[in-house]
Structure 1
Amino acid sequence: MSWLKKDPFQIIAFQSYGTNSHFYARGRALEDESIDLEARNTWRLLVNSWKRFETDEVKNVGLDLKLPNNTIIKATTDRKGYFIVEANLQDLKTLTNDEGWLSFELSFNDVTIKRNIQNQNRFPGELLIPSSKAQFGVASDIDDTILQTGVVSWLKWRLIYNSIFKSVKSRMPLEGSVDLFQRLHRGFSGKNANPIFYVSHSPWNFYRYLELFLKQNNFPKGPILLRSVSEALKKKQEGEKPQKQKEILNILKTYPKLPFILIGDSGEHDPDIYIEIAEMFPDRILAIYLRSVKHKKKMLRVRSLVKNFKTTPMMLIDNSQQAIEHARKHGFIT
């Protein structure tokens, strides 16, 4: 928070997903620190990184969520400013566009809030309800899968450097990844509108950064599913699944008739997570694509896993064209 002036409140709605009868949205209410996502100056990038994590939450405040049919759903932020809006409703698909996106509007309903609120207390949000034209869904990692981050570098120094000292405008997608994802989104008919879910272990603090990266590079729009800093830092209970795995399992359970392609990299835990998911849902996972990373020891282990895994097609790929060729051969794309 600025010492000289009070920052206005804002509501950030994270792109989420639901069904024709189940509305589920989430986001966070924060003071608007005016982070300049287009900054390139080193000092401004450092300031942005500080603001991204030194958040001032709007905690325990009431919100209204308004649907296009004027239905109002109530919610309250928690002590970290996060909120979840969940409701069982009917015929939500009638409110979506051709791609399956349902637009809604959020506002603060607490009349005791005296501080200036930007946008006349109206904040946009979107929810994806996969189109009936969908042939399959895609659940993909982000780091070192479509965005070069250096997550396997020594002490993750390259990941830290890229996250702090590189503007989103200067970040480039891995070669061919946009073409691959656009083809998978369009599917075999070229008009399938297959849903893409971006699932990462990055904290929600990077949501707008990643949202802009995907948009400016023309990746298909899709829910971006991250985790809170507290989730990243807390010690896991014995047998507890990683957050990324929980998210993908929830997606599979939300859409029980939709098969999926899983995309990740060989650097961290994606191979183990995806293998376990495929073994749980052997008839639902069409293929697994794992992008190779420059780490000899990790690659030796992953190659062994891939060689011995027979439940569903699982490929190590050095470039996106290999995945495109496999997807075309199996009728996922033209």
Structure 2
Amino acid sequence: MFSKFFKKDPLQVITFQSYGTNTHLYARGRALEDESINLDSKNWFQLLINSWKRFETDEIKFTVLNIRLSDDTVFKVKTNHRGYFTINEPSNSLAKLCNEEGWLSYEVAYDDVDVLKKITSENRFPGQILIPKESTEYGVISDIDDTILQTGITSFLKLRVLFNTFFKPASSRIPLKGAAEFYHQLHRGSTGNESNPIFYVSHSPWNLYRYLKLFLQHNNFPKGPILLRDFPKPFSGKKSLQDKKPQKQHEIVNIFKMYPKLNFILIGDSGEHDGDIYIEITNQFPGRVLAIYLRSVNNKRKMEYVKQLMQNYDQTPFLLVKDSQEAIIHARGNGFIS
């Protein structure tokens, strides 16, 4: 009777849309028990339960995974103490395995004998990484929170952020007006026929990966790598050591290093620290940032701070825009879009 009640959830591997090059495989994901989260639910109580499940995870720690490419090349990787895995390895001729948009598909499977005994479904979990074409004009790196998704990050005690995250399904979240159209124009580039990569970065935890992925898909944003951060488990009693630099900044630096010949457009908002991060990135990689677009938020103090940043900065176009249309006009005037 009670054995059924305490039955373990089936296992899964959540793969994160990542990126790489023709000679470099960079794949990421997480091995977890499958809590059967209904992403389409709109019932407030079920949404609260879903949020709890996202953060109170049961990880599959220190287990070996096989990553198999379509040409049957296999890489082995081991998950860490939080169930995460990263494979960051040289490889050969990966571009030939990609589709027309530059996406390389792979499969992940559990390799541990003891873990395999617990698999109740097919031991195959799909993943993809983006490998931009050599002819790519430029890349776009965009924040998510309050840049394309209104979160309320500047609200009192960030209460609106909590309400939106815990009590609103991804399918009902409304993107900021015109953002998807602008990003598609950047993706198509100056000729209208390009496949410029779009990278989505956020300070949100990996626990919200599928939530944010569904939001981007539901609102027809261009498909791209989604890069978040690790987050300590609630009530674990453990505090992770905070780096001096935010994880979002490390991810952006890694993208610049992965593609040393590619220039970028950076998009963020004035609500957090995007202006400071983007200026530091521009100084670190001189000549490689084509433009910085910051969407203005309804916070007078933060707006004044960003305006001061802009006054003392002239290395690359730096615009504080009210809406996507202002950014579109500038991008078209500078030949970024058709």
Q: 1:291 — aligned with what?
A: 295
Amino acid at match of 2:311: K
CA drift of 1:282 comes to: 2.4
CA distance 1:40–1:123, shift in 2 (3 Å): same
- Of 116, 121, 125, the residue aligned with 2:119 is 116
- Of 209, 234, 245, the residue aligned with 2:240 is 234
Q: 2:156 — aligned with what?
A: 154
Q: C-alpha distance in 1, partners of 2:38/2:7?
A: 18
Please give the residue correspondences for 1:58-137 in structure 2 after superposition, counting only pairs within 5 Å: 58-113=60-115, 114-118=117-121, 120-137=122-139
Q: C-alpha distance in 2, partners of 1:213/1:107?
A: 27
Q: 2:285 — aligned with what?
A: 281
CA distance 1:235–1:60, shift in 2 (3 Å): closer
Q: 1:9 — aligned with what?
A: 11
Q: C-alpha distance in 2, partners of 1:45/1:26?
A: 27
1:321 aligns with 2:328: no
CA drift of 1:134 comes to: 1.2
SS at match of 2:113: coil
Amino acid at match of 1:236: Q
| Residues 43-75 of structure 1: CA deviation (Å, up to 9, x unaligned) | 000000000001000111111110010001001
Amino acid at match of 1:285: V
SS at match of 2:133: coil
Tell me the number of residue pairs that the alignment of Structure 1 and Structure 2 aligns: 330
TM-score (norm: length of structure 2): 0.95
CA drift of 1:233 comes to: 5.4
CA drift of 1:307 comes to: 2.2
| Residues 269-292 of structure 1: CA deviation (Å, up to 9, x unaligned) | 101000111112221000000000
SS at match of 2:309: helix
- Of 125, 143, 146, the residue aligned with 1:144 is 146
Q: 2:257 — aligned with what?
A: 253
Amino acid at match of 1:275: I
| Residues 222-271 of structure 1: CA deviation (Å, up to 9, x unaligned) | 0000000049953435xx22111111111001101100000000000101
CA drift of 1:4 comes to: 3.1
Identity over the aligned pairs, expressed in percent? 58
Q: Which stretch of structure 1 is more off in the superposition, 101-110 or 276-285? A: 276-285
Q: C-alpha distance in 2, partners of 1:117/1:143?
A: 37
CA drift of 1:99 comes to: 1.0
Please give the residue correspondences for 1:44-59 in structure 2 after superposition, counting only pairs within 5 Å: 44-59=46-61
Q: C-alpha distance in 2, partners of 1:55/1:17?
A: 26
CA drift of 1:306 comes to: 1.3
> Which runs of 5 or more structure 2 residues have no equivalent in the other structure?
none
| Residues 157-189 of structure 1: CA deviation (Å, up to 9, x unaligned) | 111110001011110110000000000001011
SS at match of 1:182: helix
- Of 16, 20, 23, the residue aligned with 2:22 is 20
Amino acid at match of 1:264: G
Q: 1:218 — aligned with what?
A: 220
TM-score (norm: length of structure 1): 0.96
1:184 aligns with 2:190: no
Q: C-alpha distance in 1, partners of 2:159/2:43?
A: 20
Instruction: Provide the aligned C-alpha RMSD in A.
Output: 1.4
Amino acid at match of 2:52: W
Q: C-alpha distance in 1, partners of 2:293/2:260?
A: 21
CA drift of 1:117 comes to: 3.5
CA drift of 1:3 comes to: 4.5
| Residues 76-124 of structure 1: CA deviation (Å, up to 9, x unaligned) | 1111100112221111111111111000001001122222333x10000
> Which runs of 5 or more structure 1 residues have no equivalent in the other structure?
none
SS at match of 2:153: coil
Q: C-alpha distance in 1, partners of 2:195/2:143?
A: 19
Q: C-alpha distance in 2, partners of 1:230/1:92?
A: 34
